[in-house]
Amino acid sequence: MPDFVMTAPRGAADLLTAELATFGALDLRERPSGATCSGPLEVAYRACLWSRVASRVLMTLTVADAPTPEALYAAARTIDWSQHIGPTATIAVDFDSTRSAVTHTRFGALKVKDAIVDQLRELRGDRPNVDTARPDVRISVRLVADRATFAIDLSGDSLHRRDWRGAGVAAPLKENLAATLLLRAGWADIAAAGGAFVDPMCGSGTLPIEAALIATDTAPGLTRRYFGFLGWGQHDAALWERLLVEARARSTRDRFDAGRIFGSDLDARAVQAAREGAELAGVTRIVTFSQMPLSRVTQPAEQGLLLVNPPYGERLGEEEGLRDLYRELGLVLRERFDGWQAAVFTGNPGLGREIGLDAKRRHHLYNGPIEAHLLRFDVSAASRPREHRPGHLPPVDPARRESSGAQMFANRLRKNLDNLGKWARREGVTCYRVYDADMPEYSFAIDLYSSAAEGAQRYAYVQEYAAPPSVAEERVRNRRAEAVSVLPEVLGLPEDRIWFRTRRKRKGLDQYTKLASEQEFHEVSEGGLKFLVNFDDYLDTGIFLDHRSTRGKVRDLAAGRRFLNLFAYTGSATVYAAAGGATSTTTVDMSRTYLEWAQQNLDLNGFTGREHVLIQADVLEWVRTAPSGGWDLIFLDPPTFSNSKRMAETLDVQRDHVSLLTSTLRLVAPGGVLIFSTNFTRFALDEAVMALADVEDISRATVPKDFERNPKIHRCFLMRPKLPA
């Protein structure tokens, strides 16, 4: 049976996996960008016809090493293309490359196309023509770490194109993302229970039309005229016709009660486009579109779902003008939709707070490159203003902005942003510290986070160093209020993308203690790699920025080596080692939560093979029994102190580092290296360690530029075990 790769919008992988299970897929495995599975061809055909959230359906042909253009060409020629491409068929090659020698996508696609053309010309005396728009056969090639996966794109084009949208109509939502929002908001169950649907800012009608397709059990692919398998050499026309007959019989469009699905918009042209789309989708009788302002929208039934995708204010200066719109939406919900479910999809959660309702749940999704949230409300239980969310920026007092202290702090922060911003752009650094108690009276650490993706959102994580008891609390509050008043403006960020914590001296694993249960992760990038961070649930975010250079050192040393990460936290060093070419990685930590986080980080970067092992264990016990000489490169970064109940003994890094290093150095293979790091600022390496290994203090070299104000932020040593005399 063939293997398949199914892609979906980010944040919808679980919905896709659930769909595939109903299609008869086997060996299902969820991925950040979709899912993989195996099964008969019918699984893929059903996915193309019935999946509401899938973007692409790819059937894997082969996987081969392709470290050079010549190897890529040779790998492509190992496939018998005559089995897939008919004599008159047109083709297109989609090529994507990550961490590979062949980086140019057009060049890679050309090499594969040449291999196909050359093979068919030699075999049959003909060659296929190229049609990049709607080819008979679309070939997908994904090159990751010089390993190429060749596949037939059975969807042919993104499945969000249902072919019911009129020509030239721009839409803020792709159809499969709209379906994702509807499914997340519980529309399928609400519709089955007889509930109604309302979108008061429907634009060209994407949400109401997709709502109608879901409510009537209509396959989203029924209106689509083009699929990649229709011109494929092994297309099973009888199977496809059987599935179409079944889908037409299942649809209840002709029997569904009218007067339950509504869309409205202030723009007359948008409403006309929505009506035309409904006609093409065959749901004109079911969906009612009207031109009206938000203020006139009313509840059409006792129960139902209101789902809306209002403007986000992406352009500079737009956000302030949209606050009144979001406030009006909240007022309409509270006054006219009591007892309903509501959901708002927005790329600006700050505006979402203007609704004045307390979201019972939020889902993290993307609308293209824009990170967005689906906020879900139980209107009857949530008609009260939202309170300040713990962990986020305290309420801003505008009156504080003009104080001399606030202006001095703002000027210093602007200067740092300018200087460090230039350095970060030059070095390609996307997550860095921009302020670290530069002015002692404003004792904060301010870190900026973002990904390298175009249009990616930025976040700020502000930590206030707790003042000593000798400083009056009133003075602390005043300084805090002054700093908070200028942070959004100086950082250029809305308040909802600034997190605020107070950092006190803690012992052991207290810094890892859970503070909340939002489970809201944000994707950021570092060193060309991707990582998930969490600003809500823990004091630390999931990646230690002061270890950026140390992780780079791990990557530089990893090629061809077996890597071991002890006290691994969220596995960022493991990801760097894998990216550096480690032959295997072993990640050990006591916390299942952090190991699952580490697995997500590995998956996010494509490191999913069996050579990457994660172990939940008490590290102190584990290193005593692990096999000697089993690893060529080890990263050891223990906490300063730990008395966790899950450990058999306490750990004090100063007191216990000799015994810990003795056990760990035993695991290093001949010629191998141990990198030992600690954030204990008063750490002193015992001379006894010198008898065990050649030690190089690389602390200064591993403190990044953005942490130079605090050169004792960590100590770091490179150790090579001494051979027995």
Per 3-state DSSP, the chain is made up of helix, strand and coil in percentages (nearest 5) of 35, 25, 40
Architecture of domain 3-153: 2-Layer Sandwich (3.30)
List residues bridging with 93 in a β-sheet.
139
pLDDT score, position 323: 85
| Separation of alpha carbons 541 and 448, rounded Å | 12
Domain span(s) for CATH 3.40.50.150 in the chain: 175-220+254-381, 522-721
Asked whether 81 and 92 are in contact (CB, 8 A), the reply is no
pLDDT tens by residue, 591-644 = 999 999 999 999 999 999 899 999 999 999 999 999 999 999 999 999 998 866
pLDDT score, position 401: 86
Q: What percent of the chain has pLDDT over 90?
A: 78
DSSP string covering 91-142: EEEEEEEESSS---HHHHHHHHHHHHHHHHHHHHS--PEE-SSS-SEEEEEE
Structure tokens, 41: 């061809």
Asked whether 97 and 247 are in contact (CB, 8 A), the reply is no
Q: Is 536 helix (H, G, I), strand (E, B) or coil?
A: coil
pLDDT score, position 644: 60
Confidence of residue 725 (pLDDT cuts 50, 70, 90): low
pLDDT tens by residue, 558-590 = 999 999 999 999 999 999 999 999 999 999 999
Confidence of residue 173 (pLDDT cuts 50, 70, 90): very high
- Identity of residue 524: V
Confidence of residue 88 (pLDDT cuts 50, 70, 90): very high
Between 359 and 144, residue with greater pLDDT: 144
Structure tokens, 675: 């990198």
Rounded mean pLDDT, 134-141: 97
Rounded mean pLDDT, 402-416: 94
Q: 187 φ, ψ to 5°? A: -60, -35
| Separation of alpha carbons 572 and 552, rounded Å | 11
605 DSSP 8-state letter: T
Asked whether 60 and 150 are in contact (CB, 8 A), the reply is yes
Q: Could you confirm whether domain 522-721 is CATH 3.40.50.450?
A: no
| Separation of alpha carbons 539 and 291, rounded Å | 49
| Separation of alpha carbons 6 and 55, rounded Å | 7
Length of the chain: 725
Structure tokens, 587: 């990640």
31 DSSP 8-state letter: E
pLDDT score, position 512: 41
Confidence of residue 169 (pLDDT cuts 50, 70, 90): low
Cβ-Cβ contacts under 8 Å for 127 (sequence gap 6 or more): 117, 120, 121
Rounded mean pLDDT, 236-257: 95
Asked whether 577 and 464 are in contact (CB, 8 A), the reply is no
Rounded mean pLDDT, 696-712: 95
pLDDT score, position 320: 66
88 DSSP 8-state letter: T
What CATH homologous superfamily does 175-220+254-381 map to? Vaccinia Virus protein VP39 (3.40.50.150)
Mean pLDDT score of the chain, rounded to an integer? Answer: 91
Cβ-Cβ contacts under 8 Å for 697 (sequence gap 6 or more): 685, 715, 716, 717
| Separation of alpha carbons 352 and 336, rounded Å | 19
Q: Which residues of 363-392 are buried (b: 16+ CB within 10 A; e: fewer)?
A: bbbbbeeebbbbbbbbbeebbeeeeeeebb
Domain span(s) for CATH 3.30.2130.30 in the chain: 3-153
Supply angle C-alpha 103, 104, 106, rounded to 5.
Answer: 145
Domain span(s) for CATH 3.30.750.80 in the chain: 398-505
Is the model's pLDDT at 4 over the cut of 90?
A: yes
* pTM across the whole model: 0.64
Asked whether 566 and 421 are in contact (CB, 8 A), the reply is no
DSSP string covering 412-454: HHHHHHHHHHHHHHHHT--SEEEEESSSTTS-EEEEEE--SST
What sign does the dihedral 289-295-301-304 (CA atoms) show?
positive
pLDDT score, position 314: 57
pLDDT tens by residue, 250-277 = 999 988 988 899 999 999 999 999 999 9
Structure tokens, 390: 């713990």
pLDDT score, position 466: 85
Supply angle C-alpha 118, 95, 148, rounded to 5.
Answer: 80
Phi/psi class of residue 571: alpha, beta or left (left: φ > 0; alpha: ψ in -120 to 50)?
A: left
Q: 420 φ, ψ to 5°? A: -70, -30
What CATH homologous superfamily does 398-505 map to? RNA methyltransferase domain (HRMD) like (3.30.750.80)
List residues bridging with 392 in a β-sheet.
499
Confidence of residue 368 (pLDDT cuts 50, 70, 90): confident
Confidence of residue 168 (pLDDT cuts 50, 70, 90): low
Sheet holding 304-308, edge to edge: 287-291, 261-265, 196-199, 304-308, 341-346, 370-378, 361-367
Rounded mean pLDDT, 521-546: 92
| Separation of alpha carbons 582 and 555, rounded Å | 8
| Separation of alpha carbons 720 and 159, rounded Å | 54
| Separation of alpha carbons 362 and 377, rounded Å | 9
Q: Among 169-178, 184-193, 379-388, 389-398, where is mean pLDDT lowest?
A: 379-388
pLDDT score, position 723: 78
Asked whether 658 and 631 are in contact (CB, 8 A), the reply is no
Closest of 714, 635, 646 to residue 680, by C-alpha: 714
Asked whether 229 and 44 are in contact (CB, 8 A), the reply is yes
Burial class (CB in 10 A: 0-12, 13-18, 19+), 443: buried
List residues bridging with 344 in a β-sheet.
308, 375
pLDDT tens by residue, 202-219 = 999 999 999 999 999 999
| Separation of alpha carbons 197 and 311, rounded Å | 20
pLDDT score, position 295: 92
Task: Calculate the dihedral angle through the C-alpha atoms of 248, 254, 260, 263, rounding to the nearest 10 degrees.
Answer: 70
Sheet holding 668-678, edge to edge: 612-616, 584-589, 562-566, 631-636, 668-678, 715-721, 693-697
Confidence of residue 667 (pLDDT cuts 50, 70, 90): very high
pLDDT score, position 155: 98
Is the model's pLDDT at 9 over the cut of 70?
A: yes
Q: What percent of the chain has pLDDT over 70?
A: 93
pLDDT score, position 186: 96
For 237-382, where are the alpha helices, taking DSSP H only?
A: 237-250, 268-281, 318-336, 349-352
What sign does the dihedral 497-502-527-66 (CA atoms) show?
negative
Q: 434 φ, ψ to 5°? A: -110, -15
